[in-house]
Amino acid sequence: MRFIRRFFRHIKEGFLGVKRHFGMAVSSASAVTITLLLVGVFAVFAYNLSYLTQEIESSISLVALIDYDVTDSGVINNMKNDIISIEGVDRVDYRTKDEEFDFYNETYPDMVEFSELYRDDNPFHDTFIVYLNDGSTLSSVKNSIAKINGIDSVEDGGSNTYTLINILHATRNGGGVLILALIGLAVYLIYNTIKITIATRKDEIWIMRNVGARNGYIRAPFLVEGIIIGIFGSIIPIAIIIYLYYKLHEITGGVLAGVITLVPVYPFIMYLSIGLLIIGVIVGFLGSYISVCKYLRLTR
């Protein structure tokens, strides 16, 4: 019961602290608001970019050519199951050599007249078109398929395909690093703002120390204040981003510039809002914790 009373007492003192130092609280919340707005906007951009790169990666495929002497449907079906069981494979499509011939004609219509001369002696292989979950597994999946009996060769698109995959991964990783940097900036801003707040309340802290209050007891209300500031600071960015992203989807129909498919509004915007709220709480807590601990250490 004592712990519960103390817990609610700290919460009450935290709210009273925000009320008594409303100007500084607004200043701190504004720092969180501006930074979280930047984090939110960039998160929308980065996630949609990641969504686009994943769509591009999902279109990357391997073409496994089947030996000419493998014609039994049961053997071919077993080979397909072996490929599906390889880690990293999403799905496998089978095309006969006649379908491959027709596909070639559709791809190169100018060559139809010439290619039809070889229709009766079709040079194409029966093939498996192998789609991957993640482009980073392209090389390992290719090597695994090549070891299956009955596979003549496996085509992966050459070095350009691997270069594209590396660029897509670097793009996603770069977005994540920048978001972390913005979160770090938010912590730094609120740390400096709350540090000023604590300095203006040094007499209050001094009195609490003189009556025997421990550092944890002194620190608790400031941590509650930081969390409250983080919550209030995240409300405006969440509202703005929900509104703007919803409007962007409404205006573009979910397709930007006619080619870039945007992430669906739901549940993405809900997860993003929860994420920004959690970041706001963490930023407020860390900013308060770092600044109050540093002050208590310096004045011990």
Q: Which residues of 72-95 are buried (b: 16+ CB within 10 A; e: fewer)?
A: eeeebeebbebbeebeebeebebb
C-beta of residue 37 within 8 angstroms of C-beta of residue 130: no
H helix runs in 21-132, sequence order: 22-59, 73-84, 97-107, 112-115
DSSP of 126-184, one letter per residue? PEEEEEES-GGGHHHHHHHHHTSTTEEEEE---HHHHHHHHHHHHHHHHHHHHHHHHHH
- Min mean pLDDT across 41-45, 176-180, 183-187 is at 183-187
**pLDDT digits over 127-149, tens only?**
999 988 877 788 889 999 999 99
C-beta of residue 283 within 8 angstroms of C-beta of residue 190: yes
**pLDDT digits over 15-43, tens only?**
676 777 677 777 778 878 888 888 888 88
3-class state of residue 241 by DSSP: helix
Query: Residue 21 is encoded by which pair of tokens?
Result: 């130092």
**pLDDT digits over 50-105, tens only?**
787 777 777 778 999 999 999 898 999 999 999 999 998 989 999 999 888 888 88
- Map out the domains of the chain with their CATH numbers: 2-56+164-298 (no CATH), 59-158 (3.30.70.3040)
pTM value surpassing 0.75: no
